Structure 1
Amino acid sequence: MITEKAPGKLYIAGEYAVLEQDCPAILVALDQYVRVSIKPSSSDTGLIHSKQYSQDSIHWVRRGSKIVIDNRDNPFEYILSAISFTERYCLEQKVKMDVYDLFVNSDLDSADGKKYGLGSSAAVTVATVKAILRFYGVQASKDLIYKLSTISHYSVQGNGSAGDIAASVYGGWIAYQTFNKLWLKEELASKSLSAVVGEAWPGLKIQQLVPPKDMELLIGWSQQPASTSRLVDKTNANKNNLRTEYAKFLADSRKCVLQMIRGFEEANIALIQKQIGINRRLLQHFAAINNIAIEIPRLTELIEIANKFGGAAKTSGAGNGDCGIVIVNKDTDIDRLRKEWVKNDILPLEFHIHQSELTY
């Protein structure tokens, strides 16, 4: 049995703007994981099983080099896409296909099955890609895992920046800029998968960041799950109507996040905190012009409590639920802050940073 894992993530800054090229975001990988285990099947039928969807296990058979699913209605779209593209890559490397059982388990949901908003679809995609490559004995760099995972994920989701994929692959704190999606679509239509993943992707930037040593990240969960894809769809539909406002939002977000990256490079917690506040205000304005709810009342409460204790706080990710993040320094009374959260039905999440692994 081979087991691979991929961490969940949270956005720190740059949400929504990161969907466009040249607009950086900052993300962090957390020590909450999706684990994918794989072993050769004992028969000519393979199994894909998730503890989170135990009643919906699906079976498949191999017809030539193709996997054929005999259960049409299943929650495994990202896993199946990761299998499809990773096996396509392996076939191009002249790897002989086999039949296997795949087992998935996740820390990225609460005990009662609610999502924290940690990028579970990205993490399961990355873990599946890693597990299959290892099962077939294919050596893989982080860049290859990122690219195969991104192509797999994007073919299902159809939108997004793939920043969550990058966080799951590279770990730690990262600054991220997305790639040219039209270019990728055209390349995939005209070249082999091996050729596309071997190319430099225009616009893509992934930079590891080192946090200041006295800085700490606090996470609060609103206990209200949100749908990133639906919010992104809605804002994408408004882009043409809000062209001038949208261009200003992108420029302001870019300036803010670049300043925050400088804060990391100079170990300047105060500068990072200042930019967190600026990014919050940018997102509030963005929400208003798009008529969407990013900062719901419970997230506003989370932020105001954190600000009262000297932290710098904002929503994380698409908003409308999920988590808020707070940047604090060593002088912050973290225990009192968290107790205040609990009084207001905000759940502190005791997660830590997933440190980047130097090698695959």
Structure 2
Amino acid sequence: MTATRTVTRHAPGKLFIVGEYAVVQPGHPAILAAVDRQVGVTVSAADGASAADGVSAARGADIVIDSDLCPGGARLRRGDGGLTALGADDAQRVRDGLTHVVSAIDVVDGLLAERGLSATPVRVSISSRLHHEGTKLGLGSSGAVTVASVSAVAAYYGLELSDEERFRLAMLATARLDARSSGGDLAASVWGGWIEYRAPDRAAVLDLARRRGIEESLRAPWPGFGLRKLPPPRGLAVEVGWTGRPASTASLVGSLGRHAWQGSASQRSFVERSDTCVRASADALERGDGPELLRQVRGARRMLAELDGEVRLGIFTTTLTALCDAAEAAGGAGKPSGAGGGDCGIALLDATAEEQISHLREGWAAAGVLPVPIRLQSTQTKGSAA
């Protein structure tokens, strides 16, 4: 196959509204919303790279990756065992921030091979608006870059993929790196807007791909997976605050997975209560019931605090607690968005209450919380996937 054009695709970041941690369990829901900041991935012919661009397409490189977050980029070679770095520096740069990109390219390569198509050398360029001065904000940058990479590389080679196929390829790429990842960030990046998401059984998905191939895994049922679009909240403003401290979702979720809490009666109770909260929140969004949504978000904060008190993961930092307290003091609701431990949190308030929003921002400023000027995407159409 000969491909000479340049293709660019974008994918938005996300925020968890309710349901984090429970959504890691297959089939259990969470609500997420896509944000108006994105990751962009551009794919072009590798021979277009030059030293002036900061990365040179060295002889033997099938893939050249450069990123605004990874100085020096990386060069890789295709082989029977997948993609391998050309040198030690390339391997280190992949480990330092390009693992999701490489996994995404590798999965698309696998699909091309199953369809009898060749993969020509390419240059993959990445730019992110999900960071602040090089530090991630906790907006799902890994998921967004995975989706954007799958979308751009597939489009470059002429593959026409549905939204669900793009999600499935991105989920395979992610699960290969960490099967504990729920994939909620991927779903938000693919479908955008507000969604209720249920994670597939990643172990079953990986086993399916190993036994029957990537092509078949795009068509076969995925146990546990489900998605439906939701309307955004009516009459509520969503404010986003950043703690200034990055956190590792994989580390926090991994620690919980190794804790004795996992599989306990307490864990089952947490998941059941989380499911109830997500269902009630989704119903409130469908009805446009802002006060009920605020009540559920406050309840979600309490559940996460109880979980943190029991297993001591460090979900709530001093700054995140202050972020939430300021939201409630202003008459709204606040909680960490995602795994916690740093990154960002959200506050929901009456959209017409300018004085309350001003008080919230004053409280955040006093606590060292940085307001992030982003908006959540509106949902364009309703639909579902399962």
- The residue number in structure 2 matching 1:98 is 120
- Indicate the SS of the match to 2:275: helix
Within 5 Å, which residues of 2 pair with 1:157-196? 157-196=178-217
Give runs of aligned pairs for residues 205-216 of structure 1, distance below 5 A: 205-216=226-237
1:262 counterpart = 2:283: yes
Q: 1:336 aligns with which of 343, 349, 359?
A: 359
Rounded Cα–Cα distance in structure 2 between residues aligned with 1:65 and 1:228: 29
Q: Find the residue that maps to 1:238 and give its secondary structure.
A: coil
Code of the residue aligned with 1:81 in structure 2: it is S
List runs of 5+ in structure 1 lacking aligned partners.
none
SS at match of 2:205: helix
Aligned residue in 1 for 2:64 = 47
- 1:246 to partner: Cα distance: 0.6
Give the C-alpha shift of residue 100 in structure 1: 0.8
Tell me the secondary structure at the aligned position of residue 314 of structure 2: coil
Kept after mapping to 1: 8 A contact 2:12/2:192 = yes
CA distance in 1 between partners of 2:85 and 2:313 (Å): 38
- What is the distance in 1 between the residues matched to 2:77 and 2:203? 34
Q: Secondary structure at the match of 1:219?
A: strand
**Do the aligned partners of 2:208 and 2:217 also contact (CA within 8 Å) in 1?**
yes
| Deviation per residue, 1:9-33 (Å, 9 max, x gap) | 1111111111113321111111111
Instruction: Quote the sequence identity (%).
Output: 30
Structure 1 pair 84–279 and aligned structure 2 pair: CA distance change class (3 A): same
Secondary structure, aligned partner of 2:161: coil
Letter in 1 for 2:216: A
Shift of 1:67: 4.0
The aligned residue for residue 284 of structure 1 is 305
Aligned residue identity for 2:16: Y
- Return the letter of the residue paired with 1:248: S
Residue aligning to 1:11 = 16
Matched AA of 1:109: H
Once the two structures are superposed, the pairs formed by residues 125-204 of structure 1 within 5 Å of their partners are 125-204=146-225
The answer for unaligned runs of 5 or more in structure 2 is: 1-5, 48-56, 382-386
Q: Secondary structure at the match of 1:351?
A: coil
Is the 2:30–2:278 contact (alpha carbons within 8 Å) kept by the matching residues of 1?
A: yes
Match for 1:20: what amino acid? Answer: Q
Distance in 1 (CA, whole Å) between partners of 2:374 and 2:307 is: 29
* 1:35 corresponds to 2:43: no
Contact 1:176 1:207 in 2 (8 A): yes
1:354 aligns with 2:377: yes
Quote the Cα distance in structure 2 between the aligned partners of 1:216 and 1:241: 35
Q: Which residue of 2 aligns with 1:73?
A: 92
Give the TM-score normalised by structure 1: 0.94
> Aligned pair in 2 of structure 1 residues 240, 301: CA closer, same or farther (>3 Å)?
closer
Q: What is the letter of the counterpart of residue 344 of structure 1?
A: A
* Distance (Å, rounded) in 2 between the aligned partners of 1:66 and 1:230: 26
Distance 2:350 2:183 in 1: 30
SS class of match (2:335): strand
CA distance in 2, matches of 1:254, 1:239: 21
Q: 1:282 to 1:137 in 2, by over 3 A?
A: same
Q: Is the partner of 2:206 in helix, strand or coil?
A: helix
SS of residue in 1 equivalent to 2:124: strand
* Distance verdict in 2 for CA 1:12–1:309, change over 3 Å: same
Bigger mean CA deviation after superposition, 96-105 or 210-219: 210-219
Q: 1:356 to 1:199 in 2, by over 3 A?
A: farther
Q: Does 1:117 align with 2:138?
A: yes
From 336, 340, 347, the counterpart of 1:319:
340
How many Å separate the matches in 1 of 2:85 and 2:263?
43
Aligned to 2:53: none
2:256 maps to which of 227, 235, 238: 235
Aligned residue for 2:218, secondary structure, equals helix
Q: Report Cα offsets for 1:179-203 as digits up to 9, x if no partner.
A: 1223213212210110011122111
Alpha-carbon shift at residue 107 of structure 1 (Å): 0.8
Instruction: Name which of structure 1's ranges 301-310 and 333-342 shifts more when overlaid on structure 2.
Output: 333-342
RMSD: 1.8
Query: Contact 1:239 / 1:246 at 8 angstroms: preserved in 2?
Result: no
Distance 2:328 2:378 in 1: 27
Q: Which of 2, 6, 15 is residue 7 of structure 2 equivalent to? A: 2
Q: Structure 1 residues 277 and 357 mapped into 2: Cα distance closer, same or farther (>3 Å)?
A: closer
- The alpha-carbon distance between structure 1 residues 242 and 148, as it changes in their structure 2 partners (threshold 3 A), is closer
Q: Is the 8 A contact 1:310 1:332 kept in 2?
A: no
Residue equivalent to 2:368: 345
Distance in 2, Cα, partners of 1:178 & 1:85: 19
| Contact map agreement 1:65 1:97 (CA 8 A) in 2 | no
Match of 1:85 among 102, 107, 110: 107
Contact 2:327–2:347 under 8 Å retained in 1: yes
Counterpart-to-counterpart distance in 2, 1:21 and 1:248: 16
